[in-house]
Structure 1
Amino acid sequence: MNGHRPDPSAALAPVEPDLAGAFASRGPDPLDDPDPFGAGEAAAVETLLRAYVRETATPVPAAGEELLLDFPASGVRLSVPVRYRSATGWHRFGEPRAASGPAGAALVAAVAIRESVVRRRLSHHLGSDAVARVLDSARRTGTHLARRRAEGESKATPFLEAEQALLLGHPFHPAPKSRQEASDGELDAYSPELRGSFQLHWFAADPAVVVGESADGRSPAELLRGLAIGGAAGVEPPAGMIPVPAHPWQAREVLRRPEVAALVEAGLLRPLGPAGPVWHPTSSVRTVHRPDAEVMLKLSLGMRITNSRRNNLRGELRLGVRAARLLAAGPGDWLRAEHPEFGILRDFAWISAGADGPETGLETAIRDNPFRGGAGDGPDDGQCVAGLLAERTGPGDGTPPGHRALLSAATARAARAHGVSLAEASARWLTRYLDVLAAPLIRLYARYGIALEPHHQNTLVALDGDGLPRAGWYRDSQGYYVAASRAGELERLLPELADGLELVFDDDFVDERVAYYLGINNLLGLVGAFGALGLTDEGDLLRVLRAALERLRTTEPGAKGLLDLLLDAPALRCKGNFLTCVDGRDELVGDVRAQSVYIDLPNPLTEVSR
């Protein structure tokens, strides 16, 4: 008997058959394979192909036809059934076939990655590493699905439920769940997809070697002291020493670093071990949450996840504090007055041990946590947008899930509440989302020249009782830009605005990056998800989006450069996760202008009109 978790959204029947019924004529969805590792393999192949065709500008034929992909470097041709063709790139594919029969993740990854390595004259070891990461990601995904299909009903808060929903990972990344350096046993505790939880590993540091700062007067040391000694399982650091937390995987690794070993040898840093209440990893893996804690913690984690080792860099942490001070100097008050439904979660403080030299691996950012308590209609029900869009697989008996994503359930609820079709409910959902999340971000940029990187994993929404967005948030200290044309104005608000930090950039560069993060990744990605989930026609939502952006262009001349790009540019610069992965780049290292591979992507907004 299958012990899969009951789907509480299954009772929310849509008011009319949704467009996913059109997929039925193309056979069972590979994501619903009864074998969880078969479903994980199908997901890995689909995301890899979706990224590959985007980044190689390969045309995708209509649904029901075959996509033919030739890989001359390997002498292989793949025939791929197109289950759904997306105007924004969120295609759905069936099982590929080669001349010898069905093609799994190993073959597809090998030929696609080798083609890129040969064409771009890269070292072959980079291709081997990328293939290994794809296969590791496929296996991890199968493990996630097996565990979820066997679990009972979740008791997670809405916030954690969305954070833990990304079982398949980034829809345009070839290896979204690769975590090669950690063992299966470690990942049981550290993975949000497995509903992991763990105690923090604590160190006691002599004040002489503690560094950090805070934007709002609260001492990082005192905040952390309360987290360390709270509860029966807490730990009291030796008198006069300051508690410094670490991810347990990181704690083992940093003790091998010469600079950390020297602090321990000198008695300036003492490992205290795991202590205190358990914390829950969120969708980023390294940021941890406790429903009863005043703050969240963004821990350094040197494990390679997607395109980066997630080490916190001190420059990034200082940027978070500087951004919090900048918001407090005026823009934050303006934003709250103009958009009380929108908020920015500040990384307002940080701490580390090791006063001089490079990062020690103990760098921790301290983040606002408005999502406290359990389920309810207050601010504690903010949900990660990536989690809302994350596709589910079937329960393990070959049938589809009650709803393919949390977004599907929310849209069905809105359709029932308002007595409208799923297509109309989708349009209303997008319209409300633009009001509570996109408009505040664009208006903040127009008014102050402050731009953010609001990709799906960095944005959160709260839904009202009808399933429609009612509030939004942005998080992450790494994603701040100031347009050079506005830097003088902001320096009058905060004289030390850019001292020692890479924060001010040319306007054209800022426009390009926001057009990617907000335009392509977030808004066009949301349109694509609605279509791929079978909820509505993407063209209808593209018209809704275009009309909203045109209205903003009329009322917000300060964002004209950005909005001109989104509305009129025939192509937009888009991050290429496949090519970045094959290149072996770490997106957190080096010049921000060259950390990732960018490609030109045809702009679907130019193809629609109001």
Structure 2
Amino acid sequence: MHRPPTPEAEAALADELSVVRPGLSAAYAQALPGARAAVLTRLWRALAHEPLPWIARREPGSDGLTLRLTDGRRLHGPHADPYATTSYVTEVRLDDKPYHRPARLVDALAVPHGAAFAAELDHSVASLALSRAGQPASCDPAEPVPSRTWEQRVVDGHPYHPNCRSRPGFSAAEQLAYAPEHRPLVELGLVAADDCLITGEWPKWLRDGERVLIPVHPWQSAHVLDRPVQERLTAHPLMSLRTLALPDGPHVKTALSARLTSSVRDISVYSVETAESVSAFMETVTDRLDVPLHITRTLGAVTADSPDLAAVLRESPDAYARPSEQVVPVAALPLTGLADDPIWLGEFTRLVLTVGLRLLDLGVALEAHSQNLLVVLSPTGAPLRLIYRDLADIRISPARLARHGFPAPAVAGRIVTDDETTLRRKLFGSLVGGALGATAGSTAALRAALETVVRDLPATADLAALRDEPLPTKALTLMRLSPETPGDIWTRLPNPLARPGSGGHSMRSTSSGTSSGTSSGTS
């Protein structure tokens, strides 16, 4: 008889916590049920909307949604709002058996590659409970703070990925020491290297004579690299965990060869090779378009001919705000309470769609998800301008640029494409399905915000696709269950502008295949 596994990560983390931080043990135990519901809600969204091959059909009913599996079993849960961010799923029934723990549900489904995914879900629940357990009682959302403080207030991770907090390979002590939501100071090591590839200006304070000093994350030093560390830099970890803010200085993106959420977070040689050219190109684009958008410049990038030993220095987004303004990552906007106001949400939606669609029409598709995109707020909270960071995964269309008389940058490889489907997926999946969807928090709120904006935007083919077609989004769970398939796998969500019963509102997900040339783990 098949038996589901015990929640090993939950118990293992509890045991570690009792040794390294016993004062958090009670709060961790109290946070576990909520963390299970949060991960189960994300998993149910995937089961309801992704083209998983072992789901034969989906049957909406008055009491929720039933999934008919190819082996004849039934999976039943509540109606699945693809843009909801509340943890509304506390139970899913497989035939007549209830499941409250996502790892046990996936194990019971017994699908290909499910065992590894179940283990990651177990890690996600445990790490999320730890993240929630370590939070202060409250904070004043109106208090002016640096953008890094807002980043550290984002506790729950990716709003739609079941692996929102999956950190396999990180002990409880390492999460407390390195994860941004625990607000630590992290000491980066400096590793001396010869014969490095450098683009941009690598600063003198990161050199030792002729040798280059590469900032290295301490987890990378402990688990991956076998090289001596010369000195150390103290820095504040940001949302991506591997990117850190130096005190009163730039941000440093480090290689971190661990699987976080979906990808192994190394830095490809290709990203270093193209960093300076793409950064300079985007500066030219924003200057010419005169849009309310700043790009954090890449100051320098270096690799010792290895994705495991590389780093990128970027401007801090705080450099683009006046003293009276605040810079807030879009992922932190729900914490401010601003998005609860439909008028404010409409203004923000207008800002991001105007910028995103204008660049897309020119020939640049931003991966403008809630982590890469930040907003500059006035003293009263009005959205004024956008800031975009991390250019490693944008897409550039030479054909579109040429139509506007704009020269393409001298780069090749995966970021260059003229495929309209790829370009629209990149922007719509990240900006609408990610940043706007998570900020709105539900289909109804997202629909209302979009309806106030789209009728006033320039009538382009891209806007028509956004308005009339299902919304592309990454099939994040199918990607984790398809280790043999490289790159991104896409599905389509019901268009938030479509009313229930219209052609754009369908519970049926279809696969759109993999994207061209996207490599997980290199951004």
Counterpart for residue 103 of structure 2? 106
Pair 1:245 & 2:215 matched? yes
Distance 1:100 1:480 in 2: 44
Offset of 1:410 from its aligned partner?
2.7
Among 128, 132, 137, the residue aligned to 2:124: 137
Among 450, 457, 470, the residue aligned to 1:545: 450
Distance 1:481 1:490 in 2: 17
Distance 2:214 2:317 in 1: 23
Distance 2:430 2:320 in 1: 31
Pair 1:596 & 2:508 matched? no
Counterpart for residue 301 of structure 2? 350
Pair 1:450 & 2:450 matched? no
Pair 1:181 & 2:169 matched? yes
Q: 1:431 to 1:101 in 2, by over 3 A?
A: closer
Q: 1:410 to 1:552 in 2, by over 3 A?
A: closer
Task: State the SS of the aligned residue for 2:453.
Answer: helix
Cα deviations by residue, 1:411-453 (Å, 9 ceiling, x for unpaired)? 5xxxxxxxxxx6xx32x2123213433312221232x312211
Task: State the SS of the aligned residue for 2:497.
Answer: helix
Aligned pairs for 1:156-195 within 5 A: 157-195=145-183
Offset of 1:47 from its aligned partner?
1.6
Pair 1:606 & 2:520 matched? no
Task: State the SS of the aligned residue for 2:154.
Answer: coil
Pair 1:433 & 2:348 matched? yes
Cα deviations by residue, 1:567-594 (Å, 9 ceiling, x for unpaired)? 122x2332111111111378xxx5xxxx
Among 213, 217, 229, the residue aligned to 2:199: 213
Counterpart for residue 333 of structure 1? 287
Counterpart for residue 41 of structure 1? 36
Q: Is the 8 A contact 2:199 2:300 kept in 1?
A: yes
Offset of 1:102 from its aligned partner?
5.6
Tell which has more relative contact order, 1 or 2 (C-alpha 8 A, sep 6+). 1
Pair 1:470 & 2:384 matched? yes
Q: Which amino acid aligns with 1:138?
A: V
Offset of 1:366 from its aligned partner?
1.2
Distance 1:49 1:500 in 2: 36
Among 567, 572, 590, the residue aligned to 2:467: 567
Q: Is the 8 A contact 1:346 1:477 kept in 2?
A: no
Distance 2:378 2:213 in 1: 40
Aligned pairs for 1:58-137 within 5 A: 58=58, 65-69=63-67, 73=71, 75=73, 77-78=75-76, 80=77, 86=81, 88=83, 90=85, 92-96=87-91, 98=93, 99-100=96-97, 103-112=100-109, 114=110, 117=111, 124=112, 126-137=113-124
Q: Which amino acid aligns with 1:45?
A: L
Q: What is the TM-score when the length of structure 1 is the normalising length?
A: 0.69
Cα deviations by residue, 1:219-251 (Å, 9 ceiling, x for unpaired)? 2142635xxxxxxxxxxx4x4433221111112
Tell me which structure has the larger Cα radius of gyration: 1
Counterpart for residue 402 of structure 1? none
Counterpart for residue 202 of structure 1? 190
Which ranges in structure 1 are unaligned for 5 or more consecutive residues? 1-31, 118-123, 226-236, 257-263, 265-270, 390-405, 412-421, 555-559
Offset of 1:483 from its aligned partner?
2.0
Task: State the SS of the aligned residue for 1:327.
Answer: helix
Offset of 1:326 from its aligned partner?
1.3
Distance 2:453 2:380 in 1: 22
Task: Give the number of the structure whose residues are more often helix, by fraction.
Answer: 1
Question: Between Structure 1 and Structure 2, how many residues are aligned?
Answer: 467
Distance 2:407 2:92 in 1: 60
Q: 1:106 to 1:74 in 2, by over 3 A?
A: farther
Q: Is the 8 A contact 1:326 1:493 kept in 2?
A: no
Counterpart for residue 521 of structure 1? 434
Q: Is the 8 A contact 1:308 1:585 kept in 2?
A: no
Task: State the SS of the aligned residue for 1:504.
Answer: coil
Offset of 1:201 from its aligned partner?
0.5
Larger deviation, residues 189-198 vs 303-312: 189-198
Larger deviation, residues 572-581 vs 138-147: 572-581
Which ranges in structure 2 are unaligned for 5 or more consecutive residues? 1-26, 52-56, 503-523
Q: Is the 8 A contact 1:462 1:471 kept in 2?
A: yes
Offset of 1:131 from its aligned partner?
0.4
Q: Is the 8 A contact 1:70 1:77 kept in 2?
A: yes
Offset of 1:300 from its aligned partner?
0.8
Cα deviations by residue, 1:279-332 (Å, 9 ceiling, x for unpaired)? 111111111113411x1111111000111101100212333322112134x323
RMSD value over aligned CA atoms?
3.4
Q: Equivalent pairs: percent with the same residue?
A: 24
Distance 1:572 1:436 in 2: 19
Q: 1:600 to 1:272 in 2, by over 3 A?
A: closer
Q: Is the 8 A contact 1:449 1:483 kept in 2?
A: yes
Q: 1:59 to 1:346 in 2, by over 3 A?
A: farther
Q: Which amino acid aligns with 2:274?
A: L
Counterpart for residue 13 of structure 1? none
